Amino acid sequence: MSLLLQKLITIPLILICLTVHEFAHGFIAYKLGDTTAKEMGRLSLNPIRHVDWIGAFAMFFLGFGWAKPVPVNPYRFTKSGSRGIIWVSLAGPLSNIVLAFVAIIVYVVLVYTAPNVILGGWTGMIITTFASLNVGLAVFNLIPIPPLDGSKVLMYFLPYNAKCRMEQSQNMLFMLLMLASFSGVLGRVINPVFRFLINGMVEIADFLVKLII
């Protein structure tokens, strides 16, 4: 399979990862009582409503990136109170982890039941790429720098003054994050976490599939 074809196949996979990620944020917010995402048309599985082209570009070339943040108003939560922002923030990365794990289970099942399908061409490449993109998206978005999901979890636990300073510095912090991303520095930092998660999910999937097959 040519490199160009591999890259072209990656594009719809990226859109799926980003769309599910943002939909998960909006869905959990909606379940907690905040209808902002629904009102703004973001409670949708239409990729065009969620894609941030710079973030998609980063995923295409670097393996991790972001989408347009789904609008959330914590003051409209009717369940979980202020803690709801934690569940909403974690919903996106966790949805990607679930997608990655399902893909890995499918891969392991095929390894045991139809190895020629996995070893012979594009099926294995699509599944592994999909799993890698989802894990990359999850790990990247858990970095505690605004506007990424990890920052919202962190700010919930910060004292008020520290939270204000972080919010005031978010543009500078995000620019530093982008510089680290495109220079390759960030990749070297998060790659160990990425490999740990992938390897862990492979081990768990292999254990579960062996129990069934």
Helix, strand, coil percentages, rounded to 5, for the chain:
80, 0, 20
Taking the model in full, what pTM does it have? 0.90
Please provide the average confidence, as pLDDT, over all residues in the chain: 90
Q: How many domains does the chain have?
A: 1
Domain that holds residue 133: 3-212
Q: What are the φ/ψ torsions at residue 15 (nearest 5 degrees)?
A: -60, -40
The lowest-confidence range among 13-17, 126-130, 173-177 is 173-177
User: Is the separation of the CB atoms in 87 and 31 below 8 Å?
Assistant: no
Confidence band, pLDDT 50/70/90 cuts, at residue 181: confident
- Active site (catalytic) residues: 22
Confidence band, pLDDT 50/70/90 cuts, at residue 56: confident
User: Is the separation of the CB atoms in 108 and 202 below 8 Å?
Assistant: yes
- In 3D space, the residue among 28, 77, 70 whose CA is nearest the CA of residue 49 turns out to be 70
For 99-124, write each residue's pLDDT tens digit.
999 999 999 999 999 888 776 678 88
